[in-house]
Structure 1
Amino acid sequence: MIKTLKHSLFLTLLLGVVGLVNAQSIEGSTTTKTLPIIENGEAQIVPEFKDASKWIRHDLWVETDFDTDGDGKKDRMHVAVTRPYQTDTENLKLPVIYITSPYFAGVAPFKEGSFWNVKHELGQPAPPRIHPEVVRKGERPIISNSHINTWVPRGFIVVHSSSPGTGLSQGAPTVGGENESLAPKAVIDWLCGRAKGFTEPYGKKRVKAYWSTGKVGMTGTSYNGTLPLAAATTGVKGLKAIIPIAPNTSYYHYYRSNGLVRSPGGYLGEDIDVLYDYIHSGDESKRAHNNATVRDTEMKNGMDRITGDYNDFWAGRDYLNKMEPMKAALLMAHGFNDWNVMPDHSYRIFKAAKEKGLPVQIYYHQEGHGGEPPLSMMNRWFTRYLHGVENGVENDPEAWIVREDAPRDQPTPYPQYPHPEAEAVSLYLTKGAPEVGGLTLNKKTGEGKEKLIDNYSFSGAVLAQAEYTDHRLLYLSPKLTQDLHISGIPKVTVTLASSKPAANLSVWLVSLPWNTSKKAKITDNIITRGWADPQNHSSLTNGEPLEPGIFYEVSFDLMPDDQIIPKGQQLGLLIFSSDREFTLWPEPGTELTIDLDKTHLEVPIVGGTESFKKATK
């Protein structure tokens, strides 16, 4: 029921206890105020806040401290507000849930030639690509309707903004540059009374967020999930909690892998300059300047599709390097089978935030890109840190993982991730090429060397199912006699020689036999994967050409996972060169020779070696 209070003393006492609204009253007067309702630690739908026809919707421009479009004026961000009418009629102040995005005003079409051509030799430049233009869309004052139906009825104000150089926001898109952190910081500063807001993009009439409590939370998915983290790494005061969903936390990790030029899943040939073109929906008169300074200078000089090495350009777009100022409570969400923004993006930030002592939780599901936590989990997080209700969420289990056959809104709680009982189990290779070799606990010597021949024509899935082929090496564990729980980050060490100065290296951990049924689940076949450039065997920042015939040790992590492999399956280590779905496509024929005695896999298994022994006896 709605709580209507008509005695100022009772109102003041109640508000002091629950900390929901900073109300002002005059002694002896009668006040009426509609308040959020909290039950079981969650904000409930308030009937008086539910009528969308009565919501107040307006837009404005917040002034930043930067000028990235070169017009000599500080860039202003376009901001839209959706709030209950009681914020005017009752002088009600409420916390804010804020979503910012480069996508709200439309994106460029995917055209042939707008992505990089991946069919060329490693270390060689690709042919030039075309640059599609965005046709801007959108109307004032509504930037987006996302999230409003969920949160406004529950006693929150919802704010949207367009990223720099997109929509009606001024400036230039930088795809991870500093202004993408400072822009949402400016909006939060305005929500907290520290920055200037204006009614028009170049006007002087001021507007204030008098309805804001100064407590802000952020959320969003993919790029929209990256930007809450970007804002949080500024340490901006007032940003209390963020819920990034499948966020890109490092553009190097998104477009490169251990020195290798690697595309995000589903977007072969995409790179950071392609994404720049895709989102550049801002003022048409500013686009030529932005293209020249950002895309055709900073990105062209820094992105380095030739070597794939980590450099200052990429370091500046890696939020793990910027965590020190962060104060916001963090609930991360990701899919273990997200091969677009891969699951290590969330884990690396979650781990760093935990080490800083921040309140953290992580929610992983077994599906692909996107997938927010259950509403109840998000509600408890925002109710605790925005409404200030002591609901004990910080004492909830730290990790929530959706098991393989469970619906996404029914995760299993765990005290932490990886599972506290998981231990790295080393597995070694026995020969078998061009058919199948073994994967065993016992390290043998004298297994010799085996070769594979690169050919991008064959996908990883085809290679995993092949009984006999020269284009991959495959090593299988004994058949599992009981379920085996993997939790954490597998690591592979491959000692190899290449017939050419450069080669792709792709490694998949698979579950066989391969399920070819139309009803196969995403978890049935691929457990996890990883890619590396052997030229970066000793340094991520300074790869060197391989000397043909010389063996090099290449060690790298595969993607994080938490999966229960059912009995009857076999673990399979699949080693091949070019990955048709992710890497460049050099001319087939490069030979990789693997030294089996000096190659091994480490798998984090709940219960460690004993569990593996029991499952394979």
Structure 2
Amino acid sequence: MKKIHQFLIIFLIAFTISAQEKSKPFFKDGEAQIVEGFKDSSKWIRTDLWVETTFDTDGDGKLDRMHVDVTRPLQTETEGLKLPIVYESSPYYAGTASDTPGLFWDVKHEIGAKEKQRTRVEVVRRGKRPIISNSQVRTWVPRGYIVVHSSSPGTGLSDGSPTVGGDNESLAPKAVIDWLNGRAKGYTEREGNKEVKAYWSTGKVGMTGTSYNGTIPLAAATTGVKGLEAIIPVAPNTSYYHYYRSNGLVRSPGGYLGEDIDVLYDYIHSGKEENRSHNNKVIRDTELANGMDRQTGDYNDFWAGRDYLNDMKPMKAALLMSHGFNDWNVMPEHSYRIYAKAKEMGLPSQIFYHQNGHGGPPPMKMMNRWFTRYLHGVQNNVEKDDRAWIVRENDKRTQPTPYRDYPNPAAKPVTLYLESGAPKAGKLITTNSSNTKETLVDNYSFSGESLAQAENTNHRLIYVSEVLKEDLHISGLSSITIKASSSKPAVNLSVWLVSLPWTKGRRAKITDNIITRGWADLQNHKSLTKSAPLKPGKFYEMTFDLQPDDQIIKKGQQIGLMIFSSDNNFTLLPEPGTELTVDLNGTSITLPIVGGKNAFDKATK
């Protein structure tokens, strides 16, 4: 009987200790695990508030306030638990403008011509408080994080005006992070004075998001704000010049022919209706209209101020970037250039690339390890992992191949020259022996895909390698040096690197055959900041990079370099008939080939 009594006492003590055990984050194999006590979404605390910024962009004489929501486990209220934050900000949460006819610029005109004014639209705001967004919550709250969202300036219930890359779009998330660290004020109401404190915050913040939502983490990081420990931008727009221009050429993002920075402003401007007239006058019709320069496409101070590469010096956040090599909306150069700079600065940095299009975050395991290391402070050695993770062709996105870095350190530049063959295919060879000039006639009626597949046409020039006897791995930036003349003072210049023969069949995709692409304005052959009309018939030499890539070209294929003029999915579309003549002796393409020239020779001889 005495033994039974002692057993009951021990059992009750154990039960009491178990009942009093508090829910808290725990980790396995360097990753935050789902906590049973954090799983029940019905017990999450969800609130909204407004954080005061340091700017006034809507001209009402008051500092703009950003609308913020918070989702946190109950234990942050009942047990005094403090947790780190996963934060996503966006201009899209309250809705966007519809694709009204005339919203985009009409691209059917001569290069440099004055354009007819496009239609301007208004956004009808949607969304109810207190929940701004449900993104991230089911992923991160159960794993021991608090999730925060905010609507960016001039969108939803946030004050201010969109600037599409202006300083306020960096300072707005900075203010939210400052509030999470007790350095800025939050209020229960947009106009009220009752303060809200982030007493449940550890002050350590990680940001993520895709596209524009992926741009904002980088924008915040460039302020150097204390507390922003790590960012995971997915397909971020890191330079609005590189988004709407290419080497001096007015070039639309893929799928949005005729879009420009003022179109995007209208598309996201869902904020307070009574502020829109002021915002439109000051931002859209003055700052954007005077700076965007659709006539020349030159790089200027306006575009430099919307290029986050120029603002990276204060950045301290650990960087994990993600992008698709076939993203022809926000092209892969956007991540490539920031990742390269982050490495140069000595910041912890990794990059994840896949072979698909726009969007696509890193596998959950990578993101979890990143935030576990930098937000929870768990020493999981993620900074010692391989720097580059690339999803190989036909592999699952969750199973990337690790590489020491990107570009592949074994990739070496191999320069290839052109041997004539127009209007059929010429050759791509390793020696420069041609003194020929070949001419194409611009005609936007023909797509790049059809031109690449044509056996005989005067609307493009194409040069192909020998059939590959072995697989060939390209990794990094290809660049072209072209010597060309135009029959008019301006001409579009489009370059595709393709694999042939073209894939046919019901499941065939254009991305099966496009290795990489590039576009340029020959008027900018001397300078990106100053263009000059071409003298018809005069030859100009220009060198520029194509989009970064990492692709294994299979044996049995040929590598083809196609040069043409107007690309009807991306460029302005002038009246057909402009002649573009290429001097083959002054033209070459340099490819980053793993194994260098030996690998190329082995595959082609």
TM normalised by structure 1 equals 0.95
Partner of 2:87: 98
2:479: which partner in 1? Answer: 491
> How far apart are residue 37 of structure 1 and its match?
1.3
- Is 1:459–2:436 an aligned residue pair? no
Whether 1:393 and 2:382 are equivalent positions in the alignment is: yes
Q: Does 1:558 align with 2:546?
A: yes
Q: Where does 1:416-455 land on structure 2 (aligned, <5 Å)? A: 416-446=405-435, 448-455=436-443
| 1:255-285, Cα deviation, whole Å (9 max, x unpaired) | 0000000000000000000000000000000
* Inter-partner Cα distance in structure 1 for 2:461 and 2:354: 30
Q: Find the aligned partners of 1:456 and 1:349 in 2 and give their Cα distance.
A: 33
Equivalent residue, structure 1, for 2:102 = 113
Question: For 2:427 and 2:569, how far apart are their aligned partners in 1?
Answer: 26
| 1:590 pairs with one of 575, 578, 585 | 578
Instruction: Decide which of 578, 591, 603 is 2:591's aligned counterpart.
Output: 603
In 2, distance between residues paired with 1:428 and 1:80? 57
How far apart are residue 347 of structure 1 and its match?
0.5
- Alignment partner, residue 9 of structure 2: none
Aligned position for 2:354: 365
1:347 is matched with which residue? Answer: 336
1:517 to 505, 525, 531: 505
For structure 2, the 5+ residue unaligned runs are 1-12
Counterpart of 1:155 in structure 2 is: 144
Instruction: Output the CA distance in 2 between the equivalents of 1:224 and 1:581.
Output: 25
Partner SS state of residue 512, structure 2: coil
**TM superposition shift of 1:522:** 5.2
Matching of residues 122-141 of structure 1 within 5 Å: 122-141=111-130
Aligned partners of 1:218 and 1:57: how far apart in 2? 19
Corresponding residue SS for 1:97? strand
Query: Residue 476 of structure 1 contacts residue 572 of structure 1 at CA under 8 Å; is this kept in 2?
Result: yes
Structure 1 residue 89: Cα displacement: 0.3
- In the TM superposition, 1:3-18 aligns within 5 A as none
| Cα contact 1:367–1:522 (8 A) shared by 2 | no
Distance 2:118 2:371 in 1: 44
Equivalent residue number for residue 16 of structure 1? none
- Secondary structure, aligned partner of 1:217: strand
> What's the counterpart of residue 508 of structure 1?
496
CA distance in 1, matches of 2:590, 2:355: 21
Q: Distance in 2 between matches of 1:591 and 1:521?
A: 30
SS in 2 for 1:584: coil
Please tell me the root mean square deviation across aligned C-alpha atoms, in Å.
1.3
Three-state SS of the structure 2 residue aligned to 1:144 is coil
Cα distance in 2 for partners of 1:331, 1:583 equals: 32
Secondary structure of the corresponding residue to residue 229 of structure 2: strand
What letter is aligned with 1:358?
L
User: Are residue 613 (structure 1) and residue 592 (structure 2) matched?
Assistant: no
Structure 2: distance between partners of 1:103 and 1:291: 18
| 1-structure distance, mates of 2:86, 2:466 | 51
Structure 1 portions without partners, runs of 5+:
1-5, 11-29
CA apart distance, 1:31: 6.9
| Contact 2:419 2:434 survives alignment (8 Å) | no
Residue 405 of structure 1: how far off its partner (Å): 1.1
Classify the secondary structure of the residue corresponding to 2:27.
strand
User: Between Structure 1 and Structure 2, how many residues are aligned?
Assistant: 591
Which structure 2 residues correspond to residues 311-330 of structure 1 after superposition, within 5 A?
311-330=300-319
1:523 and 1:467 map into 2 onto residues whose CA distance is: 20
1:382 paired to 2:382: no
| Equivalent residue letter for 1:428 | Y
Q: Deviation of residue 33 (structure 1)?
A: 2.6
Residue 535 of structure 1: which of 515, 523, 535 is its match? 523
Per the alignment, residue 207 of structure 1 pairs with 196
One-letter amino acid matched to 1:454:
D
DSSP-derived class of the 1:302 partner: helix
SS in 2 for 1:425: strand
2:556 & 2:509 partners in 1: Cα distance?
16
Q: Is the Cα–Cα contact under 8 Å of residues 404 and 523 in structure 1 kept in the other structure?
A: no
Deviation at 1:34, TM superposition (A): 1.4
Q: 1:337–1:522: 8 Å Cα contact kept in structure 2? A: no
Map of 1:22 onto structure 2? none
Superposed displacement of residue 584, structure 1: 0.2
Tell me which amino acid in the other structure corresponds to 2:483: T
Partner of 1:69: 58
Q: Equivalents in 2 of 1:497, 1:302: separation in Å? A: 29
Match of 2:464 among 462, 476, 484: 476
Checking the alignment, whether the CA contact within 8 Å between 1:453 and 1:592 is kept in structure 2 is yes
Shift of 1:294: 0.3
What is the CA–CA distance in structure 2 between the aligned matches of 1:547 and 1:351, rounded to whole Å?
38
